[in-house]
Structure 1
Amino acid sequence: MSRIIAGAAGGLPLLSVPGTATRPTTDRVKEALFSRLDAYEVIADARVLDLFSGSGSLGVESASRGAKIVDLVESADKAAAVSRSNADLVNKTLKQQTVRVHHLKVETYLDRVTSEDQWDLVLMDPPYPVENESLTTILATLVPHLAKGAVVVLERSSRSQEPDWPAGLERFAEKKYGETRLWFAEPTAARL
């Protein structure tokens, strides 16, 4: 069973998506990821976008650790329902509406954002079959919506090739945890 690791809702158990269509981030990887994000000082008061959110565990962890607004985007019906349940549970625990769920394809959601929409932290855990070309397109769409000092985290299989980073976004770190690899990227100075 997954849980929120730390923050105001620390220890709260989370629902998981039934079946095998999603691949939840393990608590070990989640703990390591958020330790790094805490060190980057990117979570407190952040506007967070969790794309391909699955159960929403990464986004609600951000909310528990002090993010101001968290948007979970998930297109699969069962996963979006679990995201909504976990968001409701965390919002109730935090006594504020921090987490919002968008039951849409990632591309549709990004097509609808306005020029005012800016994120400090973007978490992406796409299904492994999502092709590198699609990821590059999604990443390129994000670039104009990244705040100064933003961090983008992409989670993939450790066997996946590194994505082609679009203009305006560059990788600054990566870390492998067993079968999982995390890439960390930031807006380039020229973009800001």
Structure 2
Amino acid sequence: MPYAARPNSKKERRQENEKLILAAAEKVFAEAGFGGATMQLIADVAGLPKANLHYYFPTKEALYRQVVQNIFQIWLQAADVFDAADGPEEGIGAYIDAKMEISRHHPAGSKVWASEVMHRAPVIQDYLETTLAEWTQGRIAVIERWIEEGRMDAIDPRHLLYMLWATTQHYADFGHQIDTLNNGMPLSDAQWEEAKTSVKQIILRGIGATG
């Protein structure tokens, strides 16, 4: 039934085009920043006409915000383990694993976020003041509950979160430096597993969350 298949085919083409555009935009924004990126350059990297970009994303800012929101949504999903975990060893350990995997597979998105924040978030300040602030407060409440239950040392949850973000995202934001110190080679599967194990051991022992 070819007629019935057309809507699905159109939907699939739309999804594929959006995927191509967002992947290209993530790469270009990571390398050139918001100011240096152009819709034409993103279109060239995506292999699509510039008109296609404006069809899906009317402005560069709309596309940029979508790229930033995408990486943040991936980070939010990684943090779901906080709410489901029995305690900090399981919750924070799983969160470190997830964030390290995101740094491994989505390094450009992390770099876009880092660059935006280092420039005082001119495009997404409202996002930081609402979505990020609400998410952070929710994780603080979970950590404070674990502290009250005696499952970890009494530390400031905010500084623990800052340390978790800084450590795990370092593997994306400073990937070139890590590769250089690894004899010019990307970390292997075994090295990524070793890195995750080491980071968990250092942080979990440091906050008294290991059994």
TM-score (norm 1): 0.27
Structure of larger gyration radius: 2
Work out which structure has the larger RCO, using CA pairs closer than 8 Å and 6 or more positions apart in sequence: 2
Which has more helix, going by share of residues? 2
Which has more strand, going by share of residues? 1
TM-score (norm 2): 0.26
